[in-house]
């Protein structure tokens, strides 16, 4: 008899877990992030899961996993144009993003960090 009571509870728990995870996913607008990256030619040097001239976004996310300063470091990287070393060994100033819209930039960074 006990399991009959347990089942609805498990469903409620499962449903809440789903709701919570979709809520946190919804915080990143994936389409908007990709559009920003595309417009800025980020994909010329970065792909989500393979190394191009620059590191894959997966490896960037991996590098900053569990670290609090990831967002700040990336923000610096894409707004101040530091010298970076490309995979082919040459150096150039990193691309500076074409927008000052904080929400748009944050959305892009959150998207990268959640790869």
List residues near ligand HEC by CB under 6 A. 37, 40-42, 44-46, 53-55, 60, 73-74, 77-78, 84-86, 94-95, 97, 108, 112
Selection from 53, 42, 18 nearest residue 112 by Cα: 42
User: Nearer to ligand HEC by C-beta: 14 or 39?
Assistant: 39
Residue 84 tokens read as 């970076």
Asked if 97 and 36 touch (Cβ cutoff 8 Å), the reply is: yes
Closest contact distance (angstroms) between CB of 36 and ligand HEC is 7
Asked if 112 and 106 touch (Cβ cutoff 8 Å), the reply is: no
Closest contact distance (angstroms) between CB of 84 and ligand HEC is 4
């Amino acid at each position: 008899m006990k399991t009959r009571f347990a089942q609805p509870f498990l469903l409620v728990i499962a449903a809440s877990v789903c709701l919570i995870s979709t809520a946190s996913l919804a915080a990143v607008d994936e389409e908007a992030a990709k559009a920003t990256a595309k417009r800025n030619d980020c994909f010329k040097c970065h792909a989500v899961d393979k190394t191009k001239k620059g590191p894959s976004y997966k490896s960037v996310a991996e590098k900053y996993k569990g670290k609090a300063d990831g967002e700040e470091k990336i923000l610096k990287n894409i707004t101040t144009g530091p010298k970076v070393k490309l995979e082919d060994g040459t150096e150039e100033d990193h691309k500076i993003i074409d927008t000052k819209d904080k929400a748009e930039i944050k959305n892009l960074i959150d998207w990268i960090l959640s790869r």
